[in-house]
A and B are shown apart, each in its own frame.
Chain A
Amino acid sequence: MLNAAGLSLDQAPPIQVPFSFFRLAPLFALLAGAVLLWDGEVVLVSRWLAPALAVTHLLALGFLTQVMCGALFQMLPVLAGAPVPQVVWVGRVTQLTLVLGCLALSWGLYSGGRASLMLGGSLLGLGLTTFVVAVGIALTRARGVPQTLRAMRFALAGLVMALVLGLVLLAGMLGARITGLAGWVDLHLSWALLGWVGMLIIGVGYQVVPMFHVTPAYPRWFTRMAAPLVLAALVASTGLVALGKAGLAGWALLPAVLVLAAFAMVTVNLQRRRERPRVDTTLLYWWSSMGLILISAGLWVLDGPAELLGVLLLVGVGVGLPTGMLLKIMSFLSWFHLQHPQVVARRFDVRFPHMQVFMPEGLARIQFAVFTLMLVLLTLAGLSSGSPWGAYLARGGGAAVMAGALLLVWMQWGCYRTYQSISRQLG
């Protein structure tokens, strides 16, 4: 018997739950930009240096994971009829521990402080476990498109593996003996980027790409094999690292990288066949992200510099794609929640502005232009790292990261202010 309760409007979490995640996330991009500006001469020289590790975690946890957590709390009830239990409390605990844990860990990585590292690891362990358990429970009750749900479950497994490996590496930094450290670091990175982020982009993409721009659905041959292949490659790579064969472990990831590249090509091809003609900023962010995934896959196969890959994937895709999605999601949620009392009353006496008013397209275009500038500067910095020019370019890129983040904060603030002012008018 199908669960009829899955369709209650009240199952969508209060707007504050996703919004608090969305609104705090750009501040971490701002901090990452500040580190780039401050330490421009070293950040992109080596991924093993302290400022590079701090920037990576500020963006991966503070920006990207924070947005993804907020989005999942919102999406699961709507797309899968699966509300997260006790979402308000779970949301608060997750966010508080994620935010403080990310700050402590990043400071610990930057300064080498043992207490900060320990505090960061503990808080992140607590927060992400809370998140995984709550979302895991919701996913066991989920209905809907099986391929999307499977990719989301695998993504959650990716987050767990990235967390466990991260904690093991932290123990190593604090004195525990780990043989073949570089292999384990790469594995942590692979589970985080391909498992958690990659698989979630694939799962969410199956839903939102056809939905946002009215495109054909993803082909069955792709949706059937994509997520299992990524997972299989990650498991194989983990086994090889455990056996001490780090070199082979890298190549075991090839199928996962090829799946992501295929995802990018299929997505762009579907969007080329879209029926909605408008090229909005969200679409521009999708195109830039898919292009960057393709370039990154090529660079990875050619054994390109890891720092450049980090820029393209973490800054380009990791900051870009969520930003593009936020432009749509925040506008729609504002409008949708404002309408809720009228929907319940089945009376639509009060008419208020439509979606585009909450996040004006003109501002979004400027934000995308700043993002593009930032990407160009940081890519050039990555290519010329170590030279005096590299430092200037990295600092310029850092300033652009900060400008882009501030613009996003400004737009989000405008969206929330409009929401509140209409909400007050409605009484």
Chain B
Amino acid sequence: MALHHRCDHLLAAAETQLQTGAWPSMVAAAEGLIAAMLEHFRVEEEQLFPQLAEVFQAAASPIEVMCSEHAQMRALLEDLGAAVEAHDQGACTGILETLHFLVQQHNYKEETVLYPMADGALREAGVRIAAQLSAE
């Protein structure tokens, strides 16, 4: 969740830079945002989601939805990269606005459904593993 907030802050920072019209700092802010978001997707898709799917089969469908939305956001991040390179302020504003809304509704779903699910399921798995360990 802290990572989500970090991405929110970075997106807002990119918008602030965009308003000042200083392209070098805008490029840096956009690069920071893109890198942070891609890294967050990677951690979820390579670590959290596979572990969750293993211990909790019912999570498969929501995980599928989350991964589709990651793909959707990756496409927008590509658009952002191109718009920043072209110094197109209008496009950057529109992409950041769209990305912001997409991220918010995506995070909301993850935070209210998937993460509590992961908390419960992975904690149960943890307790089971701990019990097995102490029995041995």
Contacts and interface: CB of A to CB of B under 8 A. Distances in A.
Interface of A: 1-2, 4-9, 78-79, 81, 143-145, 211, 214, 275-278, 328, 332, 335-336, 339, 342-344, 346, 348, 351, 353-357
Interface in B1-47: 8-9, 11-13, 15-16, 19
20 contacts: A2-B113, A4-B61, A4-B62, A4-B117, A7-B62, A7-B65, A7-B66, A7-B109, A7-B114, A79-B108, A81-B109, A143-B112, A275-B13, A276-B11, A276-B100, A332-B98, A344-B68, A353-B94, A354-B95, A356-B94
A54 to B, nearest CB: 37
A4 B16 contact: no
Interface of B: 8-9, 11-13, 15-16, 19, 58-59, 61-62, 65-66, 68-69, 71-72, 75, 79, 90-91, 93-95, 97-98, 100-102, 104-105, 108-109, 112-114, 116-117, 120
Nearest to B8: A214
Contacts of A4: 58-59, 61-62, 113, 117
A355 B61 contact: no
A142 to B, nearest CB: 10
A79 B112 CA distance: 9
A333 to B, nearest CB: 10
A146 to B, nearest CB: 11
Nearest to B69: A343
Contact of B68 (A9, A145, A357): A9
Contacts of B113: 2, 4, 6-7, 81, 143
A214 B13 CA distance: 11
Contacts of A339: 72
B68 A343 contact: yes
B72 A342 contact: yes
Contacts of A342: 72
A277 B9 CA distance: 11
A356 B116 contact: no
A349 B69 CA distance: 15
B65 A346 contact: no
B94 A7 contact: no
Nearest to B13: A275
B98 A354 contact: yes
A7 B61 contact: yes
A343 B71 contact: yes
B116 A2 contact: yes
Given A8-B61, A332-B98, A278 B117 contact: no
Interface centre among B59, B61, B95, B112 (most CB of A within 10 A): B112
Contacts of A332: 98, 101
A103 B19 CA distance: 46
B10 to A, nearest CB: 10
A356 B97 CA distance: 8
B101 A355 contact: yes
Contacts, number: 96
A328 B97 CA distance: 10
A8 B65 contact: yes
Given A7-B62, A7-B65, A276-B100, A348 B117 contact: no
Contacts of B101: 328, 332, 336, 355
Contacts of B62: 4, 6-7
Contacts of B109: 7, 78, 81
B98 A348 contact: no
A362 to B, nearest CB: 11
A252 to B, nearest CB: 36
A2 B62 CA distance: 12
Contacts of B61: 4-5, 7-8
The 3 closest A-B pairs by CB, nearest first: A275-B12, A7-B62, A354-B94
Contacts of A355: 94, 97-98, 101
Given A339-B72, A344-B68, A346-B71, A275 B8 contact: yes
Contacts of A1: 58
Interface centre among A214, A328, A335, A344 (most CB of B within 10 A): A214
Contacts of A344: 68
A328 B94 CA distance: 12
B12 A214 contact: yes
Contacts of A81: 109, 112-113
Given A2-B120, A336-B101, A357-B94, 18 more contacts: A1-B58, A6-B62, A6-B113, A79-B108, A144-B112, A276-B11, A277-B12, A277-B15, A278-B19, A343-B72, A344-B68, A348-B75, A351-B79, A354-B79, A354-B94, A355-B98, A355-B101, A356-B97
Nearest to A332: B101
B112 A145 contact: yes
Nearest to A343: B68
A354 B82 CA distance: 14
Contacts of B16: 275, 277
A210 to B, nearest CB: 9
Contacts of B11: 214, 276
A355 B103 CA distance: 14
A78 B66 CA distance: 13
